[in-house]
Amino acid sequence: MVTILLVTAVLVCSHRGLLWPLEQAVADMLYSRKYQINNSIKIITIDQKSEAEYGFFSEWTRARAAQLVETLTQQDGKPAVIGFDVNFIAERDEEGDAAFVRAAEAHGNVVTAARAEVFEAVEERDGEYVKDTVHVNNIEYPYEALRKVSYHGFTNAIMDEDNYVRRGMLSLKYAEETEYHFAYEVYKRYSEAMGRDLNPPEIDEKGNFGIRYIAPPGSYDSYAWSDVVNGEHDPRIFEDAIVLVGAYMPGMQDEFLVPVSRGEHMYGVEIHANIVDGLLRGYSYQTVPKIWVTCANFLLCLIYFLLLRKTGPLFGAIAGGVLATGYLAAATWLYSKGWYLYPVAFVLCMICMLAVHVLGRYVWEWLSKRKLLKEFKKYVAPQVLAEMSRSGEFSVKLGGECRDIAVLFVDIRGFTKLSEELAPEQVVEMLNEYLALTTEAVFANGGTLDKFIGDATMAVFNAPVDLPDYKARAVKAALDIVHGAERINERIKKKIDREVMFGVGVHCGTAIVGNIGCETRMDYTAIGDTVNTASRLEGKALGGQVVISETLYRDLADRLIVEPLGVAELKGKAEPIQIYSVLEFADITVGEAESHR
């Protein structure tokens, strides 16, 4: 559910544009490429060097523009097109304006800049109000005489919310005429001059095309205006070229952020150079419709989700890396075919899914561990539980393991007669006192409380984790139970005027220990001949007596004070065995046997 909610949230945010800044930044890095520039494109710069010679550009006479056009034109050749990314809007001085008009008319290869006033507006059409996102309020053309003898195109830059220029308007409708983008107009005139077919870029519903930048700022050949006019450069280098003239210094308010060099500004004339270069190569793009992207992302996320459900974290991470790499490769391939795809949403979904998958498994295992520890807490000593938690040596699976253990059985002597004589409430009260004593003794010595069987208690030592000196601990727990009977008898006698005596049997050996049962019901227990023998020894014990087997006695002979009880036949055993009654421990403290030996 967490995965589904996260993926849905990411896809919805992407579809509604809330991830737009991140998507744009990643797409800029993914799609930006540096290509070999078209050497036919030349830039003549209005720079500090030219202003140092001619004064501020705003005060230049248009005669200088005429002089530039004449300088670029030779008897045997001229540029295919000269595009002035300069607004020659108002008339300035009659002589200079006229000189520029004559030069433009004489050579017929000049494209000048116009400026459109575009904004969103609501218009009434056929009795209905319609929102026009590219309403053209006005276009400022070059002064009238120049407009008649030159081509022109609008130079408006479309800046996204982060102020980067990624798109351009191909054309605008104004006064029943179609006006084209300045760079496209330059491209058209160059194609006509060189006999090339036009290949207009694909546009979206707003009439915009995506700009595929060819090179970062400073890549195209550039020449200072003053140097060209002064003959510093051979005019033949501009023959049949695309010459773009524009601002090339700070302070002229013609600098823009571009994706091909994030954080670095590009002059407007360089943007036009990139657009023209891209148009000549047939490079442009359109954004893949959001609904297509959302559906594709949803389908791929579903596939990855199902894959994660079947695999572990490591394989899931590898598969996610392969899938993400393939997605980015596909996005890059689509870009080369003219389709702009934002890859962030899908990659972010994959990261979320993998994180939830890994974290979910960790949390699930942690909760399972806590649940299991909670269950073990009911019948495992606290110190054993702490060791299990530290080492992780536990499992909830069916099955068991073969372990060397000590098994203790204890029950109340004469319980059947007592239960007949006492009221049920008194029996329960007596049992609670007894069970509390046996549980306390078992836990105090590190044992595991296996089960209560009526008035009997079964405990094992050295399971589910290794327990040092477990055999001595089992015997010590048996003695603690017998001695504890004296303490609880005082309380029981006051309540029900009865005394209880315990018989205890302890044996050691190999047994199968683990979860025994079925998937719907299982118990942690021990089974085998060792368990049966311990139960039979408990049956031989009198009230207040701890009976152990010869096997156990041999292992603890130097540490116990015992009384031999002779050879006894045990039910289910083919051969009789020697049994002993444990009186006390010797002076060796339980738990220090290993160092003693």
**Per-residue pLDDT band at 231 (split at 50, 70, 90):** very high
> What does each C-alpha distance from 581 to 345, 466, 548 come to in angstroms?
76, 27, 6
* Position 493 pLDDT exceeds 80: no
pLDDT above 90 covers a percentage of the chain that reads: 48
Read off the pLDDT of each residue in 189-214 and give the average, rounded to a whole number. 91
The pLDDT of residue 301:
82
Q: Which band of pLDDT confidence, cut at 50, 70 and 90, is reported for residue 524? A: confident
pLDDT exceeds cutoff 80 at 442: yes
* d(C-alpha 293, C-alpha 176), whole Å: 37
**C-alpha to C-alpha distance for 483 and 493, rounded to whole angstroms:** 16
What is the band of 32 on the pLDDT scale with cuts at 50, 70, 90?
confident
Q: Which residues on adjacent β-strands are paired with residue 581?
A: 547, 563
506 contacts 547 by C-beta, under 8 angstroms: yes
d(CA 295, CA 228): 56
Determine the average pLDDT of the residues in 159-187: 92
Give 351 or 198, the one with higher predicted confidence.
Answer: 198
| pLDDT band at 597; cut points 50, 70, 90 | very low
In the structure, what pLDDT confidence band is assigned to residue 134 with cuts at 50, 70 and 90? confident
pLDDT at 574: 80
Retrieve residue 308's tokens.
């994660």
Q: What is the pLDDT of residues 385-432, one digit of tens each?
A: 665 566 555 554 456 789 999 999 999 887 777 777 788 888 888 888
Sign of CA dihedral 559, 563, 567, 570: negative
SS3 content of the chain, % helix, strand, coil (to 5): 45, 25, 30
pLDDT of residue 375: 63
Kindly report, residue by residue over 55-73, the tens digit of the pLDDT. 999 999 999 999 999 999 8
Per DSSP bridges, beta strands 110-125 and 81-84 are: parallel
- Residues 151-165 have pLDDT tens digits of 999 999 999 888 999
Q: For 307-365, how does the pLDDT look when each residue is reduced to its tens digit (9 = 90+)?
A: 888 887 788 888 888 888 998 898 889 888 888 888 888 888 888 888 887 787 777 77
Q: Which residue type occupies 115?
A: R
Query: In the predicted model, what is the mean pLDDT of residues 205-226?
Result: 93
> Dihedral sign, CA of 240, 242, 246, 249?
negative
Average predicted confidence (pLDDT) for the chain: 86
Task: Quickly list H helices, 179-312.
Answer: 182-194, 225-229, 268-281, 290-310
pLDDT greater than 70 at residue 383: no
**134 or 439: which carries more pLDDT confidence?**
439
Q: pLDDT grade, residue 125 (50/70/90)?
A: low
Pair 540, 579: CB distance under 8 Å: yes
What pLDDT band is residue 488 in, cutting at 50, 70 and 90? confident
Among 44-58, 253-267, 360-374, the minimum mean pLDDT is found in 360-374
pLDDT in tens, 257-276: 999 988 899 999 999 999 99
pLDDT tens column, 68-95: 999 998 777 899 999 999 999 989 899 9
Give the span between the Cα atoms of 264 and 212, in whole angstroms. 17
Q: What are the phi and psi torsion angles at 500 (to 5°)?
A: -120, 145
pLDDT given for residue 376 in this prediction = 62
